Structure 1
Amino acid sequence: YTTQMSSVKSLNLSEPVEWFPTARALPRKVIMHVGPTNSGKTYNALQRLMTAKTGCYAGPLRLLAREVYERHQSQGIRCNLVTGEEVIEDIDQNGNSASITACTVEMVSTTKPLDVVVIDEIQLISDEKRGWAWTNAYLGVQANEIHLCGEASAVPLIKKLSEMVGDEFEVREYQRLNPLVVQKNSLKGELEKIQAGDCIVAFSRKELFDLKAMIEERNGLKCAIIYGSLPPESRAKQAQDFNNPDNDIKVLVASDAIGMGLNLSIKRVIFSKADKFDGFGQVPLAFPFVKQIGGRAGRYKTSTMGQSNNNPDAFLDADNQVLPQTDSPGSVTTLWSDDLEYVREAMASPIVNIKRAGLYPMDEHIITFSNEFPEGTSTRQILIAMGQAAKLSETFFLCNFESLLNIATVLDMIPTLTLSDKLKLLKAPVKEKISLCFQMFAKLASIVANGQIVNLTEIKGIDLSLLKLSGQRLGMDELNRLEVLHSNISLFLWTSYRFPVNLIDRIGAMELKVLCEQKIDEALAQTRNEREQMSKLRQEK
């Protein structure tokens, strides 16, 4: 292998701006909307998209893509939805598809001429794993007008990129629609001080459920719960329950999954601690991370307040008048006093500009590079060599290959897979820490390699029995299994869009996915009811 590497030429990735020659020939105008959370920047960009003849919204999460899709549909504007796991094409009576599309950033088209494109959360262009998708979207879209929404930290880098490609560049700055303050005191460890509208943030699933149980028992306030392994649809349902001022759910217990993708009516954000486990040990929360999560505070509404249809960042009083900014302030604090000064310092910290944009080689780069290796060289070896041989300019970096290497290891165990199929499968959304998800992925790849034709229910080992339970209690064990099942169904759907001949009955799989989400919601509700019953028993005793 070392001998092979020594004879391999370098992989020139130093000019990604030239990967999209059609876009380079266009006179593009770039408008960058920058500001903190709750400043209305994305709203203003979307208003422009709604007036375009042709256009696209590209966001980091399918929740956001669906929200934009539904917002267009609700206002009578035809719109398609395209994510890795779901495609809804709005086709009229003449067979014409809608000219506006809401999609996840990986799915944005770089071959279709458009009037307006909105790319959300542009600062994620520097993300170690997914930054390449924002780079490709920005460099590649064939749009006359590009609206980039995100943090001010991305302005210098995007300005530099716009100069490299010759785009006209404009920055529009936004301020928060309401004030945000760090409170003078922490809760001093007293969960009894938690109030309606609070969101307490923790960083492990176990701690989240423990906090939820204690708050419901001590305060009598019911809690919604949001964390990363919950399906996006279940997260949205929990957020909806919490946001509804007429609901009896008054507190949100959440992980950093609330950082983006959900509209949340939070009055106060409470950090349970100022450090988190990074896979190796406890590390302090990064300042930008604290600012992002803390910035979610300040959109709290009561039962006498409505939400503006024109601007989701504004609230209305009982007379349908937009409330002044100072009427819905947000606040941040900590559960423990020892963490408060750190959070205060983080919230006041200056903006740290991002320096580089992520890259991932185009398929043609990988194919050409792999041709320099002897037949039988593993995909994993080729990827490792590619990472070592890549030549980049100082403006770009190669996105983290670690997850790709794990997936490549699985693919290398299936010798009949073609390189073309492997390149499609390398980007599969496999939950790396869950062995059952890797097993499911291996089965799907084998089905493709063997030319089989199967539906979801015909795949051995996938546990659908939980979906048949009726009237039975769903505890934590069932919740864990349902979350894994949902991940595997989503993985089937993702793969089915890339290999529709092999993986069939997508409609049936979607129905099972919805049923799984309903069961997860049931399990979360039963967890709440269990806590209530335990509390009543203690009181009776």
Structure 2
Amino acid sequence: MKITVNRLFNYSSLWCATYYNSELKNSFVDLRNFKNFTNNSAIPHIDPDTFASSYVNKPMKILNDFINRKDVYTAALQNGICEAELSPLLTSFADYYSTHWCSNLEMGVILSDIEKEHKHITDLLPIFLRFAYSHRSSKESLVKTRSIIQDFVHNYHSKSFQDARHVKRKIHMHTGPTNSGKTYHAMQCYLKAQSGIYAAPLRTLAYETFVRTNNEGIDCDMFTGEQKIYKNNADKPSAHISCTTEMVPTDMAMYEVAVIDEIQMIADVQRGGAWTRALFGLCCEELHLCGHESAISIVKSLLESTGEELTVHSYERLTPLTLLPTHLNSNCLQLRPGDCIISFSRQKLHQTKAKIEEKTNMKCSIIYGGLPPSVRLEQIKLFNDPDSEYQVAVASDAIGLGVNLNIKRIIFDDLYKMLHNEMTRITPELVMQVSGRAGRFMSLYPAGEVTCFHANHYPLLKYLFNAKIPDIAKAIISPPPQIWAELDYIMPNYDLVQLLQFMNMGLSKSYRYEFFVRHDLEKMSFLYKKIGLPSLTSLSLLECFVNLKKPFVCNIAEQIFTMFAEGKVLTYEDLLFICSWPRPPPAYAQSLELYERISDVCDLYLWLNQRNPKFFPDRLRVQELKEDISKTIGETLCRPCINDGTDVLYIPDSVYCENLDKYLTETALKNL
């Protein structure tokens, strides 16, 4: 084996030799003696933390670039790493050394050399191979794991949903574009039934159906991950339920009619498992599925395993929807009442709202996913009310799932959105889903129009608007706790992220399934492991969609889960302390976001209360806090706003100033 000395590196008058292999693809360099070399009595000790942290600025970028190289993948296979394990091992390698590189002198030197372009990124391969050899599973474990995965997938429809398999269900699928009446026909069956359940993609839709059903004189309860509302009381549940899809019961609760809305969500990589579970697990006489025609093929394929027949009802759009031949040329003065501008950035939405209100005489409502559901509903009502001052709206793609708005014209301000930390072009499916909100049947505007705000976006919008939407290829499934427990026992060195990757690798291409992938799963798994939660407890918590992309929420969640792991009760007062509440009333869009994040924390507490009331006992007080926060957010959004160059300012009124003075006075007294 040819080994050469690459260079001598001077650090605080100390000389450290770094070895590398000039023919990396054909040989493997054993650098274990490097530690012995540096420990030679003639060379003073170097603190790895001090050394490495001085010379490496972007270790995670280097590691990510390394594990995504095809030549690294090929070289690892040639060196005996099993293909089924390779992807999880590469991810585990990057995860481990992204936080432990500075305590390993060898890794620190190599990363430093790569960053300064003294070495090639493939020089990390020897370290990876040693890592992989020490972490790979035995052949018997791999065989057994694959057998468990394939048996689970093959029998998913029967073993996991035995109650539903004893029911002879009539299944109807209502398909068509937006505003075609497909959900309306299904809901008529739901309302006429003696008992029924409606599974919604959003809490706002679950609430709307809950209200509508009760207004029809039919008692209805509502279940979401954060709360349960009974029309009467828990001891006397209603025969009708409106719930989010994740909350669908799959035990022997029997319904005459069940409705699953937006069935195409079965392919959503994060939430699709709930739709697959509802499709197979609902016990009912009639099951009605509503969604886009791209889901017909996958639903038929899945129902072949149960032997159930599917009746498809196709509908045409009730009102015309056309792509306008012109754009707005970036001119706000071309906006008209009934317009809704679409953007995919929270900051951009607030800026656009301020620009519209400044340059036109129209008030502008704002709708996006980060707002609490009650605030979104309030903003929707303001825009829909013909007697209100709110004649235009700015919104994100949050309006794409079943939200009914009086929109004449959808105007795309952007055609790219941030997805998994990358700017990604939106899909034709999303364009049509959002565009279809214009020109709703029986609304103020019976014909819908679509265009874009900027001239350079128009050619792409035209392409996306006319593109064919492909059929869904695979449905997402979520493994039950017992499967996780078996795999965790067989492969104890794998965390939840790695197990998921391995499970997907173990699926045959012929299967119409794929295991769910939460894009913040890595962060959540690391968080649970860091605070010492058991694997199965961590697994149950993964069902909670905590927005860990936001540092504030992530930090608060870590403190909450740490107390939970230690067996401590988290009271209302504890929550206020952790959130540093109260806070000054919001004046800027940035401070308003903090209120939104605290609302998310309240949702987390309420979600945990539903499952662990002993440790999270103060549901009512936290619910009141969330309502107060939502009220403050709603009132802030209704104030006049201006863009002051750095942020959007919501101009305070006299009541706001009084509250601010009160807050400042209370804070000053506390600090005395």
If the TM-score is normalised by the length of the shorter chain, which range does it land in? 0.7 to 0.9
1:192 aligns with 333
Aligned mates of 2:352, 2:189 — CA distance in 1:
42
CA offset at residue 213 of structure 1? 1.5
SS in 1 for 2:639: helix
Change (3 A) 1:151 1:439: same
1:219 aligns with 360
Aligned mates of 1:279, 1:533 — CA distance in 2:
30
* Residue 447 of structure 2 is aligned to residue 334 of structure 1: no
* Residue 413 of structure 2 is aligned to residue 413 of structure 1: no
Change (3 A) 1:236 1:339: same
Give the letter aligned to residue 450 of structure 1: E
Aligned mates of 2:472, 2:586 — CA distance in 1:
48
Match runs of 1:52-201 below 5 Å: 52-91=193-232, 95-111=235-251, 112-201=253-342
* Residue 579 of structure 2 is aligned to residue 462 of structure 1: yes
1:14 aligns with 153
Aligned mates of 1:61, 1:336 — CA distance in 2:
31
SS in 1 for 2:209: helix
* Residue 514 of structure 2 is aligned to residue 397 of structure 1: yes
TM-score where L is the length of structure 1: 0.88
Change (3 A) 1:64 1:400: same
1:307 aligns with none
CA offset at residue 511 of structure 1? 0.5
1:449 aligns with 565
Give the letter aligned to residue 423 of structure 1: L
2:593 aligns with 480
Q: Which moved more, 1:522-531 or 1:37-46?
A: 522-531
CA offset at residue 32 of structure 1? 0.5
- CA deviation string 1:398-446 (max 9, x = no partner): 121442232111111233x344422221222211211221222222222
CA offset at residue 461 of structure 1? 1.8
- CA deviation string 1:183-231 (max 9, x = no partner): 1211122110000100011121222122212211111111011122112
Aligned mates of 2:273, 2:649 — CA distance in 1:
47
Change (3 A) 1:290 1:24: same
Contact 2:190–2:258 (CA<8 Å) still a contact in 1?
Answer: yes
1:310 aligns with none
Alignment match of 2:182 (pick from 18, 35, 41): 41
Contact 1:200–1:252 (CA<8 Å) still a contact in 2?
Answer: yes
Alignment match of 1:434 (pick from 545, 550, 553): 550
TM-score where L is the length of structure 2: 0.71
CA offset at residue 512 of structure 1? 0.5
SS in 1 for 2:330: coil
1:314 aligns with 442
Contact 2:371–2:596 (CA<8 Å) still a contact in 1?
Answer: yes
CA offset at residue 388 of structure 1? 4.3
Structure number with the higher helix fraction is: 2
1:357 aligns with 475
Contact 2:588–2:649 (CA<8 Å) still a contact in 1?
Answer: no
Contact 2:257–2:285 (CA<8 Å) still a contact in 1?
Answer: yes
Aligned mates of 1:476, 1:339 — CA distance in 2:
27
Aligned mates of 1:420, 1:279 — CA distance in 2:
26
CA offset at residue 22 of structure 1? 2.2
SS in 2 for 1:246: coil
Contact 1:226–1:254 (CA<8 Å) still a contact in 2?
Answer: yes
Aligned mates of 2:339, 2:516 — CA distance in 1:
36
Give the letter aligned to residue 108 of structure 1: V
* Residue 485 of structure 2 is aligned to residue 367 of structure 1: yes
1:514 aligns with 627
SS in 2 for 1:245: coil
Give the letter aligned to residue 511 of structure 2: E
SS in 1 for 2:305: helix
Aligned mates of 2:628, 2:337 — CA distance in 1:
31
Contact 2:273–2:516 (CA<8 Å) still a contact in 1?
Answer: yes
Aligned mates of 2:348, 2:267 — CA distance in 1:
30
Match runs of 1:370-381 below 5 Å: 370-374=488-492, 378-379=495-496
- CA deviation string 1:339-397 (max 9, x = no partner): 223322322233321111001111111112212245x8655555554454456752111
Match runs of 1:160-309 below 5 Å: 160-279=301-420, 281-299=422-440
Aligned mates of 2:649, 2:273 — CA distance in 1:
47
**Structure 1: gaps (5+ residues):** 300-312, 317-326, 535-541
Contact 2:354–2:642 (CA<8 Å) still a contact in 1?
Answer: no
CA offset at residue 516 of structure 1? 0.5
Aligned mates of 2:313, 2:522 — CA distance in 1:
40
* Residue 135 of structure 2 is aligned to residue 2 of structure 1: yes
Change (3 A) 1:458 1:315: same
Contact 2:330–2:454 (CA<8 Å) still a contact in 1?
Answer: yes
**Structure 2: gaps (5+ residues):** 1-133, 652-672
SS in 1 for 2:595: helix
Aligned mates of 1:328, 1:75 — CA distance in 2:
26
Change (3 A) 1:160 1:504: same
Change (3 A) 1:84 1:532: closer
Give the letter aligned to residue 237 of structure 2: S
CA offset at residue 473 of structure 1? 6.1
Which of 1 and 2 has higher RCO (CA within 8 Å, sep 6+)? Answer: 1
Change (3 A) 1:513 1:280: closer
Change (3 A) 1:315 1:332: closer
Contact 1:60–1:105 (CA<8 Å) still a contact in 2?
Answer: yes
